[in-house]
Amino acid sequence: MHKIEADVVIIGGGIAGLSAALGLPDRRVAVVTKASFGKGGSTPIAQGGIACAMGKDDSPELHAADTLVAGDGLSVSECVTLLTKEGPEQIRRLIEAGANFDRTEDGELSFGREAAHCRRRILHANGDSTGAEVERALVAAVRRNAAIQIIEDCYVADLVMADGQVAGVRGIFNATGERIEVQAPAVVLACGGIGRIYRYTTNPVESVGDGLAIAARCGAVLSDVEFVQFHPTALNTSLDPLPLLTEALRGEGAVLLANGRRFMPDLHKDAELAPRDVVARGIWAQQQKRLDVFLDARTIGERFPQKFPTVFAFCQQAGLDPRTDMLPISPAAHYHMGGVSVDANGRTNVPGLWACGEVSATGVHGANRLASNSLLEGLVFGARVSLDISRSIAPGSRPVCPDVEMKPRPTFITPDEAPLAQRLRDTMWNDVGLVRNAQSMTHALQVFDEISAQTPQSIMLCHMIDAARIITQAALARKESRGGHYRSDYPEHDPHSQHHPFVYTGNGPWC
Ligand code: SIN
């Protein structure tokens, strides 16, 4: 096995990981990505923008208030305050690093409005290509820094542990199968979400819950992992992931139709602009009646191609013209509010382990994330993690790593395992999806045992099984409905609801 040393290893090359990397200019940082650097993960495909209180009529307090309302009573207000207060400074740094956001004719930053935001505060780049621009700028900044080593196309299987401390990571290169150990006294999980464990998702192939599985294996406490956000409007095609039809379309007047009739006004006073979980379940209910649901965005008309170039291209690929055609839609797993439990500096309970971005649970999003807060969270808390590491780990400190043999194994799902992965994704969708209950989730856990019993080998499928079990067990334990977690057997809020810390004990052998 190839062994190298670093001061800090960051798993993940999206906004959170790169924000952390750029905050450590005087350390030897290794960034490990399972796709080619700058290519995989959720950041480059994020259509929605970055919410930030920088407008003249706005304030961090107003942004925080909207975030807390969306969080449905479970947000950690200290972290929400940090997010909204530190956001503007981090956006200015991002602009200095080269990110170009859309501007008005006068050259001022242009702020868009989205549902549940009381002010125009959403920055976009090239209309609906914000994530691609942010990733481009961050990747360029990282490449300018010779102290940051990129280890790409490498799949992390596990952390290296020494005397209860994190001491590095072990991974396998996808193409060659070569094994690598990166030894370091600090590891940052920034490896994104879990959407891919669901049959329908807007998330890329990389988002399979690696971070949950890796952290759980070394005893990290997880929190609120039952809260999964389903985006109401993905374009219902045979593509996987399903192309996202950004919420901004509904902000521009697009409406939802089933049987030629709008159904959202009957369900919520804000109709199509109601909270995401309400809209997504409204669509799900129509689908349960075997009705196809469509987004009618024709009122946007000739402005469509310029205002929403990414969505327009997806529609064209599907043979649809959103200026004249109605768009078939489905809800899809989109964002994970819960994750690895961290404090306001991104620290987990395991010495040497930090987490930021979607994999982490800062408590910022509570039970339901406010649209366009996720890129900001990655940026702000990635920077906070780097500050904390700078303060707490002396430069050049070296862990003593135990000599452990790592067995060769496939990284991505093999053709033989594909039916198992599909069964897992179908089960999560049907049994632990938009509407769940004790019976469906108990069934799901049995299915995951049956899949485990087939002893899958790929790192990816093993991570998926762990992530699926973790979310299902946590969802079974939360006996109420709130935000993204809706139980048909407990449809009401529990007035005494709290955060649920969760320690995974596994169920059957680790694969
Ligand atoms: C969207 O544009 O609808 C997605 C953005 C987000 O999830 O924050």
| Ligand 1 center to 47 CA (angstroms) | 6
Ligand 1 atom nearest to 334, measured from its CA: 7
> What average pLDDT does range 193-210 have in this prediction?
97
For atom 2 of ligand 1, the residue with the nearest CA is 48
What per-residue confidence (pLDDT) applies to 509?
36
CA distance 372 to 393: 33
Ligand 1 atom nearest to 247, measured from its CA: 3
Distances (CA, A) of 413 to 78, 191, 401, 458, 465: 40, 18, 29, 6, 12
The β-bridge relationship of strands 186-189 and 2-5 is unpaired
Q: 283 near 293, Cβ under 8 Å? A: yes
Q: Considering the domain 231-333 in this protein, what is its CATH number? A: 3.90.700.10
pLDDT band at 508 (very low <50, low <70, confident <90, very high): very low
| Ligand 1 center to 145 CA (angstroms) | 31
Q: What are the helix (H) ranges across 198-307?
A: 210-217, 248-251, 276-288, 304-307
pLDDT band at 511 (very low <50, low <70, confident <90, very high): very low
pLDDT band at 491 (very low <50, low <70, confident <90, very high): very high
Residue 220 pLDDT > 90 = yes
Nearest Cα to 272, choosing from 292, 246, 291, 290?
246
CA distance 329 to 365: 25
What per-residue confidence (pLDDT) applies to 506?
65
| Ligand 1 center to 452 CA (angstroms) | 34
Extract the tokens encoding 198: 């669901």
What per-residue confidence (pLDDT) applies to 349?
97
Q: 454 near 506, Cβ under 8 Å? A: no
Tens-digit pLDDT profile for residues 32-60: 999 999 999 999 999 889 999 999 999 99
Tens-digit pLDDT profile for residues 366-422: 999 999 999 999 999 999 999 999 999 998 888 888 888 888 999 999 999 999 999
More confident residue, 497 or 303: 303
Tens-digit pLDDT profile for residues 271-323: 998 889 999 999 999 999 999 999 999 999 999 999 999 999 999 999 999 99
As annotated, the active-site residues are 276
What per-residue confidence (pLDDT) applies to 468?
98
Residue 507 pLDDT > 50 = no
Ligand 1 atom nearest to 335, measured from its CA: 7
CA distance 501 to 358: 17
Ligand 1 atom nearest to 371, measured from its CA: 8
Mapped to the 3 state alphabet, what secondary structure does 156-167 carry?
A: EEEEEEECCEEE
Q: 153 near 34, Cβ under 8 Å? A: yes
Tens-digit pLDDT profile for residues 101-112: 999 999 999 998
Extract the tokens encoding 44: 């480059």
Supply φ then ψ for residue 23, to 5 degrees. -85, 5
Q: DSSP readout, 286-344?
A: HHHTT--EEEE-GGGGGGHHHH-HHHHHHHHHTT--TTTS-EEEEEEEEEE--EEE--T
SS3 262: strand
Would you list the domain boundaries of the chain?
A: 231-333
For atom 5 of ligand 1, the residue with the nearest CA is 48
| Ligand 1 center to 247 CA (angstroms) | 6
Percent of the chain scoring above 70 in pLDDT: 99
SS3 229: strand
Supply φ then ψ for residue 315, to 5 degrees. -60, -45
Rg over CA atoms, the chain: 22
Tens-digit pLDDT profile for residues 421-477: 999 999 999 999 999 999 999 999 999 999 999 999 999 999 999 999 999 999 999
CA distance 223 to 211: 13
Q: How many helices (H) and strands (E) does the chain have?
A: 13, 20
| Ligand 1 center to 181 CA (angstroms) | 36
pLDDT band at 330 (very low <50, low <70, confident <90, very high): very high
Residue 510 pLDDT > 50 = no
Q: 132 near 45, Cβ under 8 Å? A: yes
Tens-digit pLDDT profile for residues 154-182: 999 999 999 999 999 999 999 999 999 99
| Ligand 1 center to 228 CA (angstroms) | 14
Q: DSSP readout, 112-124?
A: B--TT-SS--EE-
What per-residue confidence (pLDDT) applies to 251?
86
Q: For the CA atoms of 91, 95, 100, 103, what is the dihedral angle to 10 degrees?
A: 70
For atom 7 of ligand 1, the residue with the nearest CA is 371
| Ligand 1 center to 333 CA (angstroms) | 12
Q: 506 near 236, Cβ under 8 Å? A: no
Ligand 1 atom nearest to 47, measured from its CA: 2
Residues enclosing ligand 1, CB less than 6 A?
A: 47-48, 246-248, 371-372, 374
SS3 185: coil
Q: Give helix 374-392 / helix 130-143 axis angle, nearest 10°.
A: 20
Ligand 1 atom nearest to 229, measured from its CA: 7
What per-residue confidence (pLDDT) applies to 280?
96
For atom 4 of ligand 1, the residue with the nearest CA is 48
What per-residue confidence (pLDDT) applies to 114?
83
Tens-digit pLDDT profile for residues 71-102: 999 999 999 999 999 999 999 999 999 999 99
> What average pLDDT does range 119-134 have in this prediction?
94
